[in-house]
Amino acid sequence: MKWIEWIKEKLGVEIQFPVIADDRGIIAETYGMLHPGKGTNTVRSVFIIDSKGILRAMLYYPQELGRNMDEILRMVKGLQINDEYKVALPANWPNNELLGDEVIVPTASDCQTAATRLKEYDCYDWWFCHKKIDLNK
């Protein structure tokens, strides 16, 4: 709790998500957060768990490196977009070098769909099609 108070007092940021304390190390052990060479010091970890309790992503950072909040937010947004639109996001989205802010359409599972995709989407080939989505709706 002191950590949350400190952040609010010193940084002016109020934590809006649940934070837990693991006084006995059970959670750290279960989630693989204890590095064998670091004693009881935990590996810095991020777990993105959806509203159904499904672990969607996990990131492990060595103690010596801070977390990349931009990447964590990008991952959360990307998972939300995937859930809503059933598309994939390219690396560095929305600033991908090849597709910009466009998303990748799932691969066709049959020949007929593969043939029609070339007419429906922008494609580099039948298996690599992309499109723009409206995130403001």
Q: Is the torsion defined by CA of 122, 125, 126, 128 positive or negative?
A: negative
Percent above pLDDT 90 for the chain:
58
Domains of the chain: 1-67 (3.40.30.10), 68-137 (3.30.1020.10)
Q: What is the pLDDT of residue 40?
A: 66
Q: What is the pLDDT of residue 32?
A: 81
The kind and range of the H/E element at 103 are strand 103-104
80 pLDDT higher than 90: yes
C-alpha dist (Å) from residue 66 to 45, 61, 98: 10, 7, 29
